[in-house]
Structure 1
Amino acid sequence: MLIRLDTITLQTTAPIQLIDITEQLRECCARSGVRNGLVTLLSRHTTAAICLNERETQLQRDMVTFLKRLVPRDGDYLHNLAPVDDRDNAHAHLMALFTNASETIPIADGELLLGGWQSVFFVELDGPRPERAVTLQFLGQAAGD
Structure 2
Amino acid sequence: MVRDITREAAAFADDKGDGLLHVFVPHATAGIAIIETGAGSDDDLLTAIDDVLPTDDRWRHRHGSRGHGRDHVLPAFVAPYATLPVVGGQIALGTWQSICLVDPNGDNATRQVRFSFLQG
Settle same-fold status: TM greater than 0.5. Answer: yes
Question: Who is 2:49 aligned against?
Answer: 67
Query: 2 CA distance for matches of 1:52 and 1:74?
Result: 27
Tell me if structure 2 keeps the 8 A contact 1:96–1:125: no
Q: CA deviation at 1:56?
A: 3.0
The structure 2 residue matched to 1:29, chosen from 1, 10, 13, is 13
Q: CA deviation at 1:128?
A: 5.1
Question: Who is 2:33 aligned against?
Answer: 51
SS at match of 2:58: coil
SS at match of 2:73: helix
Could you tell me the TM-score, scaled by structure 2's length?
0.89
Tell me if structure 2 keeps the 8 A contact 1:75–1:91: no
Q: Which protein is richer in strand relative to its size?
A: 1
Larger radius of gyration, structure 1 or 2?
A: 1
Count of aligned residue pairs for this structure pair: 119
The share of aligned pairs that are identical, in percent, is: 26
Question: Which structure 1 segments of 5+ residues have no match?
Answer: 1-16
Runs of 4 or more above 6 Å deviation: none
Tell me if structure 2 keeps the 8 A contact 1:35–1:110: yes
SS at match of 2:27: coil
